[in-house]
A and B are shown apart, each in its own frame.
Chain A
Amino acid sequence: MAEIGHGGKEIVERIMEPAQAKSKIQNLAKIPVRSQIANEIIGIAYGFFSPLQGFMGKADVESVCKNMKLANGVVWSIPILFDLSDEEIKQYGINKGASVVLTYNDNPMAIMEVEEIFDYDRKSMAAAVYGTDDPKHPGCSRTYAYKDKFIGGKITLINRPKINPPYDPYFVPPLELRKKFKDKGWVRVVAHQTRNVPHTGHEWLMKGAWFQTYGELSIEKPIVGVLVNAIIGEKRKGDYIDESIILTQDELRKSGYFGDHNHLTTLTFWDMRYAGPREAVFHAALRTNLGLTHHMYGRDHAGVGTYYGPYDAHHMLEKIAKDLAIVPVYSMNWLYCPHCGEVTSEGLCNHKKEWQKFSGTLIRSIVMDGVKPPRLIFRPEVFDLVMECADKYGFGSPFVTDDYLAKRIPVFEIPPM
C-alpha cells in the first residue's frame, strides 16, 4: 500500500544501490558538500522532505517565498537550496542537463541531475521566509552565506550514511517509522519537537499533548503515542551536546516516566533556521511524512530573539489548516506551584503569586554547577545521564565547547563505496 505523505503525495525513497551506482558515477564531476547540504540530501532521499525530489529550482523558490507553496501548489515554507560559487561551477564544468556526484567525507553520497543554475536575491528571500532581513537573525545570516548560484535538480542517494553510536538506533526514516507505528498499534501519534535535554516542563508538554491527542478515542488499549523527534544539526557553543539530547529524551521512556506503549524517540537531520511560524509549517510537513497525525506547538515555536510573537506560529497554522494533513495541538507553559505542590499548567492553577516558573537558563545554571535539581523539576535519571554524557562525549562539559566542536563524534559519515 502506498504511504501518503505531505501534500497528499506518495513517499518514495530516492535511493540507488551502491553496486548499481558505481559504474554510473565513474565519469561524473565530484563535488564536495558541507554538512548542511549532506543533511538535506538525507532529508530528500529518505522522504523526510517529501514531496521534494531534489534541491529547488527557481519556480519553486519563487513560489515558496511569495505564496508559501511549491510551484505545484503543495504548502512549503522554507527554500531547500544547493549553492555553488561561480568559480566552482566553472571548475567542475557544471551545465544544465548534466549529472554530478555530491561527495561528503570524500566519498560519493548522491547523484544530482542538474536541471537549473540560477540566481536569487538573498535579501528578498530572507524577508519572505523570516519576516525580517536583519543579518543578526540566524536564518537570515544562513541565507546570506549562500554562494553565488543555486543548482536545482533531483537527488538520488547512492551511498547510505553510516550513523555512528550512540545515534544509530534513533535514525528511523519515514517509511520505517510508519511501520513501527503500525506495529505498536498506535492510531494517533503526536510530535514533540526538541533540541533540548528535557526538564519536567518539557515532559509535561508531551504529557499534555498526549491527553489532547487522545481526545475521544477509546482508552481500552494504548493507541496514542508521543514521538520525540530531535533536530540534529549545526551546534552553537553553549547548546546541550547532541548525545545528551537524544539519550536523555529516550531516558524518560527507559526510566518509566513514559513506556514503550506511548513513547518513542527519533532524530531528523536539519540545521535550524529559527524561522518561527515558517519553521512551524516546515515541521508540520516533516512530521506528516514521518507518519504523525498530530503536532504539539508551544509558545514561540522555533523562534529566536524577539522576531516573532508567541502565537504567530499558531496563527499561521490556523490559516493553512485545510492544506495540512496533521492536526496542530497547542500547549500552554507548565510551571511549579508550591501551593499545589506539583508541576501544573499556567492555564489551570490560580496561585499566580506563588508560581515558580522554570526557565531553561535557570536549569542550565544548576546543571552547569553539577547540582542535582529536585526530581519534580528534573528527573534524577536524566541528570545522571547528562553528567555521564559530559564525561563520555562532552570532554567534561554537558554543553557544547570548542573542544566538542573540534573533536566530537560525527553523527553520521559517508563510508567509502
Chain B
Amino acid sequence: MAEEKYPINIWINEERFKQLEKAGLSDMCEEMLAGLKVFRVFANDAQRDKILKVFPTAKFDSATTKSIELLPKDVKDAIFVKCVEKKSMDVLDDFLKSY
C-alpha cells in the first residue's frame, strides 16, 4: 500500500506564481478560483505528527480532505519560500529540523 500523504494548501496568486515559474514548480499548481491557484506540499505520517505537535493551532482534517489546516501564516510562508529556494516540494524534513 502506498504511503498516505497529507497536503498543506498554499495559496498562489500571480506574484507567487511567478516565483514558482522561476523555480520550475509552476506545473505543480492546481487552478482553484478565477486564476487563484493552490500549491500542495505533502506531508507523510511522521511529518504530519510533528507539524501538529509543534504548531498547536493546526488541525488535521481527517474526515474529508485529509489536509493540514490552520497553520500560522508565517509558517506557510516559510514553507513556500523554502520550496522556491530548493526548487523542490520535498522540503518538510529540512523545514521541521529547526523545530
Q: Known interface pairs A371-B11, A371-B16, A373-B13. Does A366 touch B34 (Cβ–Cβ under 8 Å)?
A: no
Q: Quick one: which of B24-57 are within 8 Å of A by CB?
A: 31-36
B33 contacts A369, C-beta separation under 8 Å: no
The answer to whether A336 and B11 have CB atoms under 8 Å apart is no
Complex interface bits, B63-97 against A, C-beta within 8 A gives 1, otherwise 0: 00000011001001100000000000000000000
- Contact (A365, B13) CB under 8 Å given A374-B35, A377-B34: no
Identify which of B9, B32, B77 gathers the most chain A CB atoms within 10 Å of its CB.
Answer: B32
* With A365-B69, A369-B73, A371-B16: A376-B34 Cβ-Cβ less than 8 Å: yes
Chain B residues near A365: list those with CB within 8 A: 9, 11, 69
Task: Return chain B residues, CB-CB under 8 Å to A336.
Answer: 33-34
With A365-B69, A370-B73 in contact, do A356 and B13 touch (Cβ < 8 Å)? no
Residue A358, interface by CB 8 Å:
yes
Are A374's CB and B33's CB within 8 A?
Answer: yes
Query: Is A332 part of the binding interface, using a Cβ–Cβ cutoff of 8 Å?
Result: no
Q: Which range holds the interface residue count of chain A?
A: 10 to 19
**In the docked arrangement, what's the CA distance between A338 and B36, Å?**
11
Q: List the A side residues contacting B32 at CB < 8 Å.
A: 356, 362
Contacts of A356 in B (CB 8 A): 32-34
**Residue numbers in B under 8 Å from A376 (CB-CB):** 34-35
Judge whether A368 is part of the interface by a CB distance below 8 angstroms.
yes
Closest Cβ neighbor of B69 among chain A residues: A365
Encode contact with B along A350-373: 1 for CB under 8 Å, 0 otherwise. 000000101000100110111111
Q: Once bound together, how far apart are the Cα atoms of A192 and B70, in whole Å?
A: 31
Closest A residue to B35 by beta carbon equals A374
Q: Note all chain B residues with C-beta closer than 8 A to A338.
A: 31, 34
Measured CA separation A365–B58 after assembly (Å):
13
Q: Which residue of B lies closest to A376 (CB)?
A: B34
Asked if A374 and B13 sit within 8 Å, CB to CB, the answer is yes
Q: Can you name the residue of chain B whose Cβ is closest to the Cβ of A341?
A: B34
Which residues of B, 1-29, contact A by the 8 Å Cβ criterion?
A: 9-13, 16
A362: which B residues are within 8 A, CB to CB? 32-33
Q: Looking across the interface, which residue of chain A has its beta carbon closest to that of B10?
A: A369
CA distance A376 to B83 in the complex (A): 28
Contact A369 B36 (CB under 8 A): no
Least Cβ–Cβ distance between B88 and chain A, in angstroms: 21
User: By the criterion CB–CB under 8 Å, are B73 and A368 in contact?
Assistant: yes
Q: Which of B9, B33, B77 has the most CB of A within 10 A?
A: B33
| Residues in chain A near residue B10, CB distance under 8 A | 369
Chain A nearest CB from B66 CB (Å) reads 16
Question: Given A365-B9, A366-B11, A373 and B73 touching (CB < 8 A)?
Answer: no
Residues on B lying within 8 angstroms of A by beta carbon are: 9-13, 16, 31-36, 69-70, 73, 76-77
Known pairs A372-B13, A373-B13, A377-B36; list 16 more (Cβ under 8 Å): A338-B31, A338-B34, A356-B34, A358-B33, A365-B69, A368-B73, A369-B11, A369-B77, A370-B73, A371-B16, A371-B36, A373-B11, A373-B34, A373-B36, A374-B36, A376-B34
- For this complex, 22 residue pairs linking A to B, each with C-beta atoms less than 8 Å apart, are A336-B33, A336-B34, A338-B31, A356-B32, A356-B33, A356-B34, A358-B33, A362-B32, A366-B36, A369-B11, A369-B73, A369-B76, A370-B77, A371-B11, A371-B36, A373-B33, A373-B36, A374-B13, A374-B36, A376-B34, A377-B33, A377-B36
When A and B form their complex, which 6 residue pairs have the shortest distance between CB atoms, in order from nearest? A371-B11, A374-B34, A376-B34, A336-B34, A374-B35, A356-B33
